[in-house]
A and B are shown apart, each in its own frame.
Chain A
Amino acid sequence: MEDLELLSDFSSFLKEKKEEGKKIIGFISHDNIPEELFDAGGFIPLRLMFGGNDDLMTASHDFLPPSTCAFAQSCIGLFSLKPRSYKFLEFIDYFLVSNHCVSDICASEIISKYFNIPRLNFYISYTKTNNSLTYLKLELQDLKQNLESIMGSKIENEDLLNSIKKYNNFKKKLLEFNKLYVKGSEKLKIIQKALLFGPDFHPTLENIIQKYKENSNDFENTSKDVILTGCSIFINDYIIDLIEEGGANIVFYDTWIGNSYFSQIISDDLIEAEKDPLNLFVHRFNKNIYGDHSVPNFLENKIAQILDMYHQYKQKTGKKLAVINHIIKFCDHISIMSSFFKNKLQDQGIPVLNLERDYSKANKGQLSTRIEAFLEMI
């Protein structure tokens, strides 16, 4: 069921920000978007992180074939159908076209072109050679200049550094929250909300952490603990309910709505030492081992990360973890290597379920069977 309250709160939040003179930048990409630059320039980042459904996917077929990433389809469907609870999308002033993946580029292009939203470009390097890093810096400079020209004022280094610190502290708080032993669906809802509202959610997050710490023994877990990797679970997606009804509890979100976002912290020493804040974004990109956009080695890094998590958890709790690799249909960079990924982890004795699906409700029953059978197996 849709979390209408969350969407309504978010709509009010954006309205308030618009009234303050802020401009809204929408984007699909999850990876390496310099939100801090938007923040320092007087913009509000609006990450599209809403789960799809049959209607949204069908509506997108006026613009692109059904054999495209189901998430990209759903994003386009949101702009095409303009469902009542998503009216806040009309607040978007600019759409950032970026290249997290091919579907991201296509969907962003379509949204900008057919729904008349002025576009901004920000194309990220794939490799981490010196040339790539120089190129990324140039892209950042261009984006900064574009933002300055829209607002008609310069983004001062001091403001940008303050924004970087603000996001850093927010991510540190999310990491602290992530360490708490909380029911998976509750954890996900809070992470989703945090990513949606950004650092404005920081004070609420602090209260939430405090409350959980005070009631640390409230969660009695009778389920089997799993790591979720692959594609993120977006807001209002029913898959989290199927996973929990099947008997699993997600203890770790190795996804962009999860660890891959809030582990991207720039060290305080580096912030203090660096004169040009744009270099901090280049540094962050270079150190980002979780980026499923980057080549080569992203899969090796992902496997190493999961193995590390698995062993740490086993040492701490004595329990073994299983892995659910969530694959949104036609999300090529997750699905193509899924067999390799599964075999690599299974060779180490870690059971993996490659759970491929789109947002259709028609295959809910079959998804339940896969999840339940996997949990019976482990």
Chain B
Amino acid sequence: MKAFIGIDIGSLATKIVLINEGKLVDHRTERSTYNFKKVGHNLFDDILVKNNLKRSEVYVMSTGYGRNTIDIADDRITEITAHAKGAQYFFPDAHSVIDIGGQDSKAILISKKTGNVVDFQMNDKCAAGTGRFLEVMAHALEVPINEFGDLALGSRKPASISSTCTVFAESEVISLFARGASKEDIAAGIHKSISRRVAGMAKRIGVAPKLIFCGGVAKNNAVKKYLVAELGFEIVSPEYPQLTGAIGAALIAQENNN
């Protein structure tokens, strides 16, 4: 019997999962770097060796930004469809998905009847509302990205960041510093700003509970807190939020081959 591999080549991270009989068996994540093809190949070889599998024993579905460029894929699917499927792996009653990745963010609406995507929205080419926005801002505040959310949660009075543009927001951060605002309050303002932008996009397609928050940024509890405030309802995140797309791709591969 064939196993199914989903590989999600994002702009910042490449994720690979192995699915067998509908269950997550193994997974890996690496930074995509400039040579994401090589990163993808390395992850693929590694997961085959560790699981004692031959190439002919797996079916590979690629997704994400680099889905069309990875030559190990047998088929490809967009990250929109993949995330919708992956979200339902963790939460079968999922109705909506918000995915904030490194380069883009998306909101997806899932049919309760069929489990298929019925509508979606993506941010435009601007970095605002993406993981990249948080990276730039964390850098401006000289805070490691993995500590950025916790810093924001320590704020008592979030600063107001009015600009939605990454470049102008960076200038605003410098002005706030000059006016004596604390790092925590500025960090909170930044997290509120990205959450407001993404929530606005999600509301346009009518997202509703149960909403699954996935993508690498879903690990950031401050974004999650402010998203809940903006949307007005609770949201949930899977155990491995960054793997949702890869898992969805592998599950679609399995469905297509059955």
A interface residues (Cβ-Cβ under 8 A, vs B): 329, 339, 346, 356-357, 360, 362-363, 365-366, 368-370, 372-374, 376-377
Contacts and interface: CB of A to CB of B under 8 A. Distances in A.
5 contacts: A363-B125, A376-B80, A377-B117, A377-B118, A377-B120
B81 interface: yes
Given A365-B65, A369-B65, A377-B116, 4 more contacts: A356-B124, A363-B125, A366-B125, A376-B81
Interface of B: 65, 68, 77-81, 104, 116-120, 122, 124-125, 204
Given A339-B204, A346-B119, A376 B78 contact: yes
Contacts of B117: 373, 376-377
A374 B116 CA distance: 12
A209 to B, nearest CB: 37
Contacts of B79: 369, 373
A360 B125 CA distance: 10
A366 B105 CA distance: 11
Contacts, number: 41
A341 B36 CA distance: 39
Nearest to A367: B125
A329 B122 CA distance: 15
Contacts of A360: 125
Contacts of A363: 124-125
Contacts of B81: 373, 376-377
A167 to B, nearest CB: 39
B204 A369 contact: no
A373 B125 CA distance: 17
B78 A372 contact: yes
Contacts of B125: 360, 362-363, 366
Given A376-B77, A377-B117, A366 B204 contact: no
User: Considering residues B78, B80, B118, which has the most beta carbons from chain A within 10 angstroms of its beta carbon?
Assistant: B78
A345 to B, nearest CB: 12
A206 to B, nearest CB: 41
A222 B78 CA distance: 19
Contacts of B124: 329, 356-357, 363, 366
A365 B67 CA distance: 10
Given A356-B124, A362-B125, A369 B78 contact: yes
Contacts of A377: 80-81, 116-120
Nearest to A364: B125
